Amino acid sequence: MLIAGNWKMFKGPAATRAFAERFAPPAGVDVVVAPPFVSLAAAVEAGLTAYAQNVHWATEGAFTGEISAPMLLELGVAGAIVGHSERRQWFGETDATVARRAEAALAAGLHVIACVGELEAEREAGETEAVLRRQVSVLPPGERLVVAYEPVWAIGTGRTATPALAQEAHAFVKSLLDRPVLYGGSVKPENAAELLAQPDVDGALVGGASLEPASFAAICAAAAAVA
């Protein structure tokens, strides 16, 4: 069971160190945090398992604002998120670039959480499986690859897919690619246990609830209880 905290554009180095001082994950669950790039070193130094929120496919070059896998490895970073819906929505990420980022990161030795998920309009139009099939089909196979199913309509909205909907989507993703699948989309201490108890839910990609040590620890404890 893997629980990953995506901090998005929150917590500089000082706040990251303060979080680490107050956070005590339970045994029996793998826990990672994905802070902003400027806080990765602080997270590693504080003893947290750190993932980057993005990674470029090139090892170096004229790519202003990007970070390469070798740079992350030099910091002691263990993995990276690729293809988050916010990257797709705001920064032009495509299935093709997600695939390139994932392939380069895996080849370099990083773990990868590759995000997939449908928009609300796509779900209402009955296109969920077609969208997931398209997004998953480009992902490279690899033992360090984990998929995160994040229904876009549930991210940062407070809305959560029902456990039954989450289970259905996870089972479909696993029918396409035999890798663990995390659920992401307004995961909170109040709903974590029921979501994580689903047979094809292998963990969670947590957003806002991962910013507070107590709420994140509660989600990790729920995962440990069903692991």
Q: Which of 86, 103, 118, 150 is catalytic?
A: 150
CA–chain centroid gap for 191, Å, is: 18
Q: Which token pair is 93? A: 């990420």
Q: Which of 56, 84, 111, 170 is catalytic?
A: 84
Phi, psi of 135 (to 5 degrees): -70, -40
Instruction: Scan for tokens 């309009």, then name that residue.
Output: 121
Q: Is 84 among the residues known to form the active site?
A: yes
CA distance 176 to 109: 23
Task: Name residues whose C-beta falls within 8 Å of residue 28's C-beta, 6 or more positions apart in sequence.
Answer: 1, 224, 227
Sheet containing strand 51-52, strands side by side: 30-34, 2-6, 203-206, 181-184, 145-149, 111-116, 79-82, 51-52
Catalytic residue numbers? 84, 150
